[in-house]
Amino acid sequence: MSCCHYYEFIQGQESVFAVDVAAIRFGAGALMELPDESRRLGMERIGIFTDRSVRNIEPVVSALTNLKSRGIEYELYDEVQIEPTDLSFKAAAQFAKEGRFDGYISLGGGSVIDTCKAAILYSHYPADFLTYVNAPIGKGHPVPGSLPPHIACPTTSGTGSECTGIAVFDLLEQQVKTGIASRSLRPSLAVIDPRCTHSLPGAVVAACGFDVMSHALESLTAIPFSDRASPSSPELRPMSQGANPWSDMGSREALRIAGRYLERAVADADDHEARHKMMYAATLAGIAFGNAGVHLPHGMSYSVAGLVRDFQPAGYPNEKPICPHGMSVIVNAPAAFRFTAAASAERHLEGAALIGGDLAGAGADDAGEVLAVAISRLMKATGMPNGISEVGYGQSDLSALAEGAFAQQRLLCNSPRPVNLQQLEEIYSSAMHYW
């Protein structure tokens, strides 16, 4: 492959990349096709996962009514917790186990889709909870076999969870966010209906949109897949295999769309063009990071979200302190990309250009700063916190934040520039504020 100098083939290093993608149906009205798709996948008794607010939005109400009127048998679980935990995963798995379902539908944001993945896994292959959780926090055991069909229907334009084999949650006793990652968890089909975004508050569109942007930027700048050692057998090839020519395509187009439409989608719920475009960007970025993997901004986000004390952002239910996923990612991103740019300046500059950054007169040494400024400008324009200080963190939190991030080795290994504990503290320190 000679499309890009980023990929060099060296004896003993990886020379093959994998492309794993969920089947996708995308477009306004796609949810009305759920009865046909369920039957096609042989689903006769379906467990549906959602949450109490999503189940009341119009496209979801119509989809559920349509399933019923077409004679599809289902049971609804609407107790999914936003920012799920090991406890809420276990409760969902219990519902799945008791229901004896032969197929699943998830209707909601990343929390709902991730909860459905975990419920399917633990109800079909019961095990001690840490068995499948990523090492070193969990045991990282592989999923033992195939799983029943799962149709994932995202209602926010963010996580891309419908395209990935990753389920993220808070492990309560260790106060840390972590996940389960396996190709087996990837949904059988993603049904993506952008009408679901019409009723989202602007703040939710902003947080989700920055999640999309960071998925794409991190996939584009991740360590090249060809820098990894060749696996001893194909099944040992990691799902987060690093940047590759396939993920590059999705990342670039997702960034181009997000750079053009994010501000409009946040500012005006009636701007359906912008909201539909952001939904498509989320899908593309999900495909990209599902095959490449993310790195520092996401690795650092886990402790920003997990250690939050009393932060309650506008536009989210006021039940408990929370730093929404996309927000917890993007508050680190400018500082993280300043750090990683030295390893792949060209790609950092390209990312900045795609989201509307000003590259006039910029050279390789400016790449991190140019990208940081481009992201910060969009953050400011869409009401994001000005760095982690506005989420409630100060200098005394740096070591705890860094330790939490350092535990996310699966993600840190994907960084184009290796990072140690001390450097993580320094990056958090420079993420305190940006303007």
- Note the residues at the interface with Fe ion (CB under 5 A): 211
Concatenating the DSSP letter of every residue in 381-400 gives HTT--SSGGGGT--GGGHHH
Give dist(CA 127, CA 135) in Å, integer: 16
Nearer to Fe ion, 211 or 263 (CB): 211
Measured between alpha carbons, how far is 280 from 215 in angstroms, rounded to an integer? Answer: 13
Instruction: Give the nearer residue to Fe ion in terms of CB position, either 217 or 407.
Output: 217
- At its nearest, how many Å lie between Fe ion and the CB of residue 289? 7
Distance of closest approach, residue 375 Cβ to Fe ion, in angstroms:
15
Question: Nearest residue to Fe ion, using CB?
Answer: 211
d(Cα 140, Cα 147) in Å, to the nearest integer?
18
Nearer to Fe ion, 14 or 211 (CB): 211
How far apart CA 336 and CA 236 sit, in angstroms, is 29
Cα separation of 132 and 73, whole Å? Answer: 30
Q: Which is nearer to Fe ion, 221 or 226 (CB)?
A: 221
* CB 159 to Fe ion: min, Å: 6
CB of 240 to Fe ion, least distance (A): 13
Please tell me the distance from the alpha carbon of residue 314 to that of residue 188, in angstroms, as a whole number.
34
Q: Which of 255, 29, 26 is nearest to 163 (CA)?
A: 26
Between 37 and 170, CB nearer to Fe ion: 170
CB of 216 to Fe ion, least distance (A): 11
**Nearest distance from C-beta of residue 62 to Fe ion, angstroms:** 28
Question: Which residues partner with 48 through β-bridges?
Answer: 76, 105
User: Which C-beta is closer to Fe ion: that of 123 or that of 214?
Assistant: 214
Answer yes or no: are the C-beta atoms of 116 and 154 closer than 8 Å.
no
Q: Which is nearer to Fe ion, 67 or 243 (CB)?
A: 243
Q: Is 104 left (phi over 0), alpha (psi -120 to 50) or beta?
A: beta
Instruction: Find the shortest distance in angstroms from Cβ 74 to Fe ion.
Output: 29
DSSP bridge pairs for 76: 48
Shortest CB 342 distance to Fe ion, Å = 24
Which SS3 state, helix, strand or coil, does residue 105 take?
Answer: strand
Which residues 6+ apart lie within 8 Å of 53 measured at CB? 317
Q: Which is nearer to Fe ion, 35 or 238 (CB)?
A: 238
Q: Is 149 helix (H, G, I), strand (E, B) or coil?
A: coil
User: Structure tokens of 349?
Assistant: 């500059």
